[in-house]
Amino acid sequence: MAIDWEYQRSYNLYYIFSLPDRIRMALIHHVNTMFEPGLSLLDLKIILLPQIPEDDAGNEDVAEPPPDPSSLNEGITHLDLSTSIERSIKLRDLSLFLFPTQPDGDAPLLDSWDGPEPTAIPRPLLVNLTHLSLAASPETSSVCSWKQLLNFSSHLPTLTHLSLAYWPVPSLTPNATFAKVVSAQGQTFQYGGRNPYSHTLDNDWSEAILVMRKLSKSLYGLEYLDLTGCAPWAKVLTSHSHGPGDETDMIDWVGDWGKIETVVLTTGSVPPAMHESGKVERYKGLISEARLTERIIRARRAGRGHPIAVEADPELD
């Protein structure tokens, strides 16, 4: 079906939703990886929502109202959107689809003053989602929005497995790295949370730490975190920064993310040829950073929380 998806989503438009849950989860994965344009929001709607023929849409006598979409998708636990995020699906649009909000307008009148009030907030579409891949690609990495991800993650308390492969350095103002503002007194300040030298010269990961700490507080049930291709900013996972009151800010690997047992920090690239000395040293440095990350997290837990393993590339011969 995935190979012939262009035909299937048209010819079987009204039947795809009725497939068993495990088939629909597999279909999302295979369409996402095999269909060249990528999985679109419309494709997700075809797979996850019943489609009503246009001839029947306005006919109240044809059939009774369809059941609640959340109830119909309670068996959907895995959602693989690898490489489709910000390419064929916008994260913001995905969030609005999976977590619908109450429509604007006046609330419906109650039949009785003592009757039950209508539900204020609609149920999420996938109430039992545990495994989610939002992996980017090297080509789409730069357009992935951490701000949108933080909003999105606040709706995912059931999530246990997450892939953010190839996501960029955590930042709320990625386009303001070179921007500066001038105060009324003529002083110049950095507009965003980092400057071009924050990570390389100043070793300042404060903004990235803030973003990841916020993420950890929303996704407190995580057990598996895939950060393939994110090794260049792996320091964020164990670094700390000092706030205005000299308070230490860091990711809490005992409380918020104390359940995580696996962190993937592989480079996601082919090892460089041995004659490329500069690339070899950088590659080795990324592997060493991943090993160091594991040791630091284990030391911080000191027997508290779950055991943890950080997956890294094998050492070069």
Report the range of poorest mean pLDDT among 7-11, 37-41, 61-65, 67-71: 61-65
- The share of the chain scoring above pLDDT 90, in percent, equals 66
Average pLDDT, the chain: 86
CB burial of 109-120 (b: ≥16 within 10 Å; e: otherwise) equals eeeeeeeeeeee
Question: What is the pLDDT at residue 178?
Answer: 46
Give the Å distances, CA to CA, from 46 to 24, 49, 52, 133, 273: 10, 6, 10, 20, 46
Question: What is the pLDDT at residue 170?
Answer: 96
Residues 6 or more apart from 239 whose CB is under 8 A from it?
203, 205, 209, 250
DSSP state of 160: -
pLDDT over 70 at 246, yes or no: no
Query: Which span out of 147-156, 180-189, 298-307 was modeled with the highest average pLDDT?
Result: 147-156
| pLDDT band per the 50, 70, 90 thresholds, residue 138 | confident
Contact predicate 241/209, CB 8 Å = yes
* Structure confidence by residue, pLDDT tens digits, 184-226: 555 554 455 555 544 444 557 999 999 999 999 999 999 999 9
Distance separating alpha carbons of residues 3 and 13, to the nearest angstrom: 16
Higher pLDDT, 174 or 33: 33
Mean pLDDT, range 58-62, rounded to an integer: 57
| Kind plus residue range of the DSSP H or E element containing 233 | none
Question: What is the pLDDT at residue 199?
Answer: 43
| Kind plus residue range of the DSSP H or E element containing 64 | none
Question: What is the pLDDT at residue 210?
Answer: 94
Higher pLDDT, 123 or 296: 296
pLDDT over 70 at 33, yes or no: yes
pLDDT over 50 at 227, yes or no: yes
Mean pLDDT, range 142-171, rounded to an integer: 96
- pTM, two decimal places: 0.84
Give the alpha-carbon dihedral of 109, 110, 111, 112, to 10 degrees.
Answer: -140
pLDDT over 60 at 234, yes or no: yes
Residues 6 or more apart from 289 whose CB is under 8 A from it?
231, 234, 235, 265
Higher pLDDT, 282 or 199: 282
Coil/strand/helix, residue 46: helix
Question: What is the pLDDT at residue 241?
Answer: 83
In 3D space, the residue among 200, 196, 210 whose CA is nearest the CA of residue 244 turns out to be 210
Residues 6 or more apart from 226 whose CB is under 8 A from it?
133, 135, 161, 162, 163, 164, 165, 264
Pairing of strands 131-133, 161-163: parallel
pLDDT over 70 at 103, yes or no: no
Cα 226 off chain centre by: 10
Contact predicate 235/289, CB 8 Å = yes
Contact predicate 310/263, CB 8 Å = yes
